[in-house]
């Protein structure tokens, strides 16, 4: 996303970017993180269109994918990366994408687990507003910083499918 350029974004700014990627339908899944992984998870879960899990082990990753069926995972990028820490990261990502998402786990509880995940999505549609609805209320400095990142903005415009949100973002970009 940021080729050959240093970028300094807070975890809150990155979470807004993740929400824009998902809400514009530019991507359907994001792997992200921060030092502890917790702040990014909290920031993502406060934004439209995101269901973020905190995964620090292969077991966490496997269960999140099978049971919670979310669209973002947050990793603790500043923890557990001593000797062979790269192996834990690789095993965690392997387990995350090993099987079909949202299939339920364990098998004897799969139907109930799928229903719970569906109920969570329904609750989120009731309790969270869309990005289009909150755009005017966002801190304009934060939004300006994100939209001025040309590689990010161009990715949204090229790959996004949510025309209403893309048009609103384009209009804001013209004022910058």
**Residue 123: CATH number of its domain:** 3.40.1400.10
Assign 3 a pLDDT band (cuts: 50, 70, 90): low
pLDDT band at 84 (very low <50, low <70, confident <90, very high): confident
Whether 1 maps to a domain, the answer reads no
* Dihedral, 5, 53, 15, 21 alpha carbons, nearest 10: 80
Three-state SS at 110: helix
Q: What pLDDT is attached to residue 85? A: 84
Domains of the chain: total: 1
Residue located via tokens 């992200």: 32
Residue 49 structural domain: 11-174
Answer whether residue 140 is part of any domain: yes
| Helix (H) / strand (E) containing 166 | helix 163-174
DSSP state of 3: T
Q: Answer whether residue 82 shows pLDDT above 90.
A: no
Q: Residue 151: what pLDDT?
A: 95
Could you tell me if residue 6 is inside a domain?
Answer: no
pTM of the model: 0.91
Does the pLDDT of residue 2 top 80, yes or no?
no
Q: What is the per-residue pLDDT for 95?
A: 97
**74 bridge partner residues:** 32, 54
Answer yes or no: is pLDDT of 157 > 60. Answer: yes
4 in any annotated domain: no
**Does residue 102 contact residue 69 with C-beta atoms inside 8 Å?**
yes
In a domain, 5, yes or no: no
Asked if residue 15 is part of any domain, the answer here is: yes
């Amino acid at each position: 996303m940021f080729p050959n350029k240093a970028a300094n974004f807070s975890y809150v700014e990155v979470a807004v970017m993740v929400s824009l990627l998902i809400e514009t339908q530019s991507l359907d899944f994001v792997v992200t993180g921060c030092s502890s992984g917790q702040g990014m998870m909290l920031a993502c879960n406060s934004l439209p269109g995101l269901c973020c899990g905190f995964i620090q082990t292969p077991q966490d990753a496997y269960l999140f994918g099978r049971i919670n069926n979310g669209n973002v995972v947050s990793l603790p990028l500043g923890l557990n990366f001593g000797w062979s820490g790269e192996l834990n990261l690789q095993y965690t990502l392997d387990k995350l994408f090993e099987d079909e998402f949202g299939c339920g786990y364990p098998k004897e509880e799969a139907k109930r687990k799928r229903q719970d995940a569906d109920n969570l999505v329904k609750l989120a549609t009731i309790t969270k507003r869309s990005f289009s609805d909150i755009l005017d209320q966002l801190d304009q400095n934060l939004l300006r910083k994100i939209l001025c990142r040309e590689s990010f903005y161009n990715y949204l415009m090229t790959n996004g499918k949510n025309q209403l949100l893309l048009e609103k973002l384009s209009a804001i970009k013209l004022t910058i």
